[in-house]
Amino acid sequence: GNSVTQMEGPVTLSEEAFLTINCTYTATGYPSLFWYVQYPGEGLQLLLKATKADDKGSNKGFEATYRKETTSFHLEKGSVQVSDSAVYFCALRNSGNTPLVFGKGTRLSVIA
């Protein structure tokens, strides 16, 4: 079946540090890959996505590249801010009408 594995948290970083949150997936076919972010007290928001191999999704300084050979979609940001503190979820969707499958989420805390 389809599944997503992401690194365990929590992750605590100082402001302006480099961030990597690892995500690997198992899926049949060619899934679309997503990163969602959940800020405290809010619903999940789409952060970025990639729909095919070698695509790079980017938004708000975050990037992730769809690597088919390593079945990975690691999230990176060069310089984190306190406002980036949130829970980040990696997710996949296998085909148009199927629901998203989520990883367990990684809590990021950025301290000034």
Partner 1 sequence: GAVVSQHPSWVICKSGTSVKIECRSLDFQATTMFWYRQFPKQSLMLMATSNEGSKATYEQGVEKDKFLINHASLTLSTLTVTSAHPEDSSFYICSARDLTGDSYNEQFFGPGTRLTVL
Residues of this chain that bind partner 1 (CB under 8 A) = 36, 41-46, 89, 96-97, 99-105, 107
* Sequence-distant (≥ 6) Cβ neighbours of residue 43 within 8 angstroms: none
CB of 57 to partner 1, least distance (A): 13
Neighbouring-strand partners of residue 34? 49, 91
CB neighbourhood size of 99 (10 A): 8
- Best CA proximity match to 54, nearest among 37, 72, 67: 67
Which CB, 5 or 72, lies closer to partner 1? 5
Chain centroid offset of residue 16 CA: 19
Residue 6 CB, shortest distance to partner 1, in Å, is: 9
**Beta carbon nearer to partner 1, 29 or 96:** 96
**Cβ proximity to partner 1, 31 vs 105, nearer residue:** 105
Minimal distance, residue 80 CB to partner 1, in Å: 21
